[in-house]
Structure 1
Amino acid sequence: MAVSQGQTAKFRVLIAADTYPPHVNGAAKSCHRLATKLTARGYDVHVVSPHYTAGPDTVEYREEATVHRLKSYAAPTHEFYRLVIPRRANRVIDNLIGELSPDVVHAQCHYMIGDAAISAAERRRVRLICTNHFMPENLDPFIPGPQFFKNIVSKWSWYDMGRLMRKANVVTTPTRLSADNMNDKARLDYVVPVSNGIDVAKYELGEQESIVPHPHPTALFVGRLAVEKNVDVLLKALTMTDPALNVHAEIIGDGEQRDTLHRLAEQLGVADRVTFRGLVSDEELREAYLRADVFTQPCTAELQSLASLEAMSASTPVVLADALALPHLVSEGVNGHLFQPNNPEDMAEKMSTVLGASEEQQLAMGQASHQLASQHSHERIMDIVQKMYHGATSDEVSDMISEAKLR
C-alpha cells in the first residue's frame, strides 16, 4: 500500500515498551531505532515506558519521539528492570490512548506496559500490532525459588502472551524460529517473522577511514553482562584457544554479572588478555566492531541478536552459539562458524579456526557477513512496518517478507 507524505504527516503511532533507553539491551535498542526511523519518515511517534528511575510520571520531548514515562519501582532481583503497578498502568495508558487517539498501537511486550496498552487498544478499537522480543525462560535467573516454580511462571507467561497478543491485528517476532516457538508455546495461530532491522551503512568502513587493528587477534562480545548471556563460556574458551595465536577478548556491556566475570577471568589466568570496557558511546561501539577480528555470541536465548547483526554489518566474521535464532546468521564456514552451546572447547576450536585463517580468508568471511546482514536492512524492514501500520494483513506481511527474503 502506497502511503502519501500527507498521510504519514498525520499518522500517530504509540509504541508501548517495558524497556527503553537509557536502558541498554536489545529490546530497548530496537524500540529506539523503530521510533527514530518512523519519525524520519514523518510519523508522529509517542512511546510509553516505565520511568528509568524513581519519580513521578514525566513526559520527555526527545528527538526520536515524545516519551511518556510512568512511575516505576526497582525490581528486587534485577539491577535495572523497573516495575509498574498493573492497575495504575491500565488507568494511565487507557487515558493516554484516549488523549492521543493514535492510529496504531505497537506493543513491544506483553508484561505490565504491554498488557495495559494491548487491553486499552482493544477496548478503544485502535489498530494493534504486537511484537515479542522476549523469551519467558529468560526470567529464570531473576525469579526466586526452585526450578519447578520457575517452570510454572514460564508456562503462565507463555499462556498470558497468547491470551493478550491474540487480540492484535498482526503479531510479529524477529525470526522464524521465534515465531514457531510462539505458535507452539503461546498457542498463537499466526506469528509473522519480521526482522528488527539494522542500519547496515552505519557500521561500514568509510572510503577515507582507517582503523588501527588490535595488536593481538581479538574476539569481541557486546551485550548485557547477565547470566543468560553465558559470557563465562567465552572466558573459558579463551583458555583453550591455540596458544600460538595469543587470542585476546574485548567485552563491551555492563550488568549484574560484571564482578563475577572479573573474578572468573582472574581465576582462569586470562585477566591480562581480557578487556572489560563497560558501556561505551555509539561511536566507540562502531569502532570496536570494525577493529574486532571475530565477533562472538555465546548466549542461547537470542531472538535475533542485534549485536551480531551490527558486527556483521562491519564485515566481521562471527562465531555464534548454535541456539535459537543465531543459526540464521551463519553460513557455516562462509562467514564464520556455529559452536555447540555452553561448550567452551568447541567455541575455542571455532575461534581458533577463524583467527588462524589467512588474511584473505578472514576478509572473505567478513564480506560474507556483510552480505548476510544486508538482508536485514532497516529501510527494507521499515517499508514493511509502514504498510503493516496502514492495514496490511498477516498474510500480506508474510508475502512481503518472502519477496524481500527477510525471514
Structure 2
Amino acid sequence: MSTTDRQPPLRVLIGCDTFSPDVNGAARFAERLAAGLVQRGHDVHVVAPSKRMNRTGSFSETIEGERMTVHRWTSWRWYPHDWLRFVLPWRARSYARKLLDAVRPDVIHIQSHIVVGRALAKEGAKRGIRIVATNHVMPENVLDFTLLPERAKRVFVRWGWNDADRVLTRAAAVTTPTRRAADFLERNTHRRGVLPVSCGLRASDYTADLEPRTANRLVFVGRVTLEKEIDVILRAIPRIDPELDVSLTVVGDGDQRKSLEKLAQDLGIADRVHFTGRVSDQQLRAHLTEASVFVIASIAELQSIATMEAMASGLPIVAANAMALPHLVQEGENGHLFQAGNDRELAEHVEAVLGLAPEQYRRMQQASLEAVKVHDIDRTLDTFESLYRGDA
C-alpha cells in the first residue's frame, strides 16, 4: 500500500538539468520517478532545459506513458558534448522565482546542483519549501566534455565538489543511488547522512529468455562516451576464443561512436560489432532479451540503470570492479567482475560464462533476476514519498 492510500497527494516539483529527450541515467531516473508519482495520484511538475533555444513555457508531455506538466526553460547547446544543453544561470534564478510563485509546490526534488537544481534550491529555501536532493553528478565525469588542461581539471574537480556542497546544504534530505556513491559524496563534501536510494525499475517491463542460446551475443547499453570505456570491451573481443564466434551490440549513441567504429576496424572485428545508435525502449529491451551476456567497462557508474535492465532481462553480467557496479554483480553468482581497464580479464570472464553448461548458465540468469528484485521502483517511490513528507 502506498502512502497516498492514507495521506493526501502532494504537489511535487522535480528539477532536472537533463531530462527527456536526453538519454542517460539521471534523465531516466527522473522520468520514471515522475511517472510513478503521477500513477500514485500526485500533482507532478518537472523543470528541465528546453529542447531547443529560445523556447520557455509550460507543456503537457507524456513521459513513461503518463501525462504531466513539464516547464521548459530556454537553454543553450554545450558544443563539446553531443546533446547537452544548459540554462544560463542568471536566467534560471528569474525563471525559478516566477515558477515557484505560480506552482507553489509542497516539495522540490532536485536532480543536480548545477543550474536548474541550484536555482530551485536557492529560491525554494527562501520560501521555506522542503527540498530533497538526489546527486547523480561526479565533477570528474564532466571533464570529459571540457577542453581544460590537466592542472585546470584538478582545480575544477575541487571547485565542483565545493559547489555541490553549497547547494546540497539547503536540502532536508540528500540521496544518491547506492551506498558506495553515498560514501563517495560524503568523502568529497561536508554532507553526512546521505541516503542510498535505488533509481529503481519495474522488472515486469523486461523479458528474460531462459532457453539455451543459439548464438553468443554480447551487449552493452549506454551512452557512447569516454567514461563508459567501451574501447576496453572492443579490445577484449579479439582475445575471446574464435570458436565461440562472439558478436557485440553497442546500444546507444554518443560523441565517441566514430572513433570506436574506427577502433573496431583497426582490430579487425568490425564485422562482429554493431552500433545501433539511439533506439526505442522496445528495441532496447529486445536487444537485451536476445543477448547472451551484458558487458560494461565503465568506471564512473553511481548505479547503472542499464545493468539493472540487463539483470531484469535475465542476463549474466561481466562488469568492471569500479564505483557502484560491484553492488549489482555477485561474483560467480550472477556474473563476474574484472579489474577496470583490463581487457584480457574481461575476455576471460566472458569465455567462462559462455562456456558454462546450460543448467549453470540458467542458474546465473536466475541469480540476476533474483538480485534485481531489491531495486523495484515501488520501493523507491515509497522512500521518496516518505522523504517528501518528512517521515524518513
Q: TM-score range by the shorter chain?
A: over 0.9
Q: What's 1:152 paired with?
A: 155
Of 353-362 and 28-37, deviating more is 353-362
What amino acid sits opposite 1:169 in the alignment?
A
Q: What is the CA distance between 1:98 and its match in structure 2?
A: 1.3
What amino acid sits opposite 2:162 in the alignment?
Y
Q: What's 2:338 paired with?
A: 339
Q: What is the CA distance between 1:76 and its match in structure 2?
A: 2.4
- How has the CA–CA distance of structure 1 residues 361 and 212 changed in structure 2, closer, same or farther, with 3 Å as cutoff? closer
1:35-184 → structure 2 map (5 Å cutoff)? 35-63=34-62, 64=66, 65-184=68-187
- How has the CA–CA distance of structure 1 residues 59 and 6 changed in structure 2, closer, same or farther, with 3 Å as cutoff? farther
Q: What is the CA distance between 1:6 and its match in structure 2?
A: 7.8
Q: Are positions 1:329 and 2:328 aligned together? A: yes
CA contact (8 A) 1:249 1:273 kept: yes
1:359-398 → structure 2 map (5 Å cutoff)? 359-392=358-391, 396=392
CA contact (8 A) 1:220 1:250 kept: yes
Q: What is the CA distance between 1:203 and its match in structure 2?
A: 0.8
Q: What's 2:255 paired with?
A: 256
Any unmatched runs of 5+ in structure 1?
397-407
- The Cα offsets for residues 139-169 of structure 1, whole Å up to 9 and x where unpaired, read as 1121212111011111111011111101111
CA contact (8 A) 1:290 1:314 kept: yes
Structure 1 stretches of at least 4 aligned residues deviating more than 2 Å after TM superposition? 1-9, 210-216
**How much identity, in percent, do the aligned residues show?**
41
CA contact (8 A) 1:47 1:68 kept: yes
Q: What's 1:15 paired with?
A: 14
| In structure 1, distance between residues paired with 2:51 and 2:5 | 34
Any unmatched runs of 5+ in structure 2?
none
| In structure 2, distance between residues paired with 1:101 and 1:7 | 19
Q: What is the CA distance between 1:358 and its match in structure 2?
A: 1.3
| In structure 2, distance between residues paired with 1:196 and 1:190 | 18
| In structure 2, distance between residues paired with 1:84 and 1:109 | 13
- How has the CA–CA distance of structure 1 residues 278 and 29 changed in structure 2, closer, same or farther, with 3 Å as cutoff? same
Q: Are positions 1:305 and 2:278 aligned together? A: no
Q: TM-score, normalised by structure 1?
A: 0.92
| In structure 2, distance between residues paired with 1:215 and 1:139 | 41
What amino acid sits opposite 2:356 in the alignment?
A
What amino acid sits opposite 1:241 in the alignment?
I
- May I ask how many residue pairs the two structures share in their alignment? 388
SS of equivalent residue, structure 2 residue 239: coil
SS of equivalent residue, structure 1 residue 349: helix
Q: What's 1:192 paired with?
A: 195
Q: What is the CA distance between 1:8 and its match in structure 2?
A: 3.8
What amino acid sits opposite 2:271 in the alignment?
D
1:311-322 → structure 2 map (5 Å cutoff)? 311-322=310-321
SS of equivalent residue, structure 2 residue 275: strand
Q: What's 1:400 paired with?
A: none
RMSD: 1.6
Q: What is the CA distance between 1:214 and its match in structure 2?
A: 6.8
| In structure 1, distance between residues paired with 2:175 and 2:348 | 36
- How has the CA–CA distance of structure 1 residues 335 and 345 changed in structure 2, closer, same or farther, with 3 Å as cutoff? same
CA contact (8 A) 1:320 1:338 kept: yes
Q: What is the CA distance between 1:289 and its match in structure 2?
A: 1.2
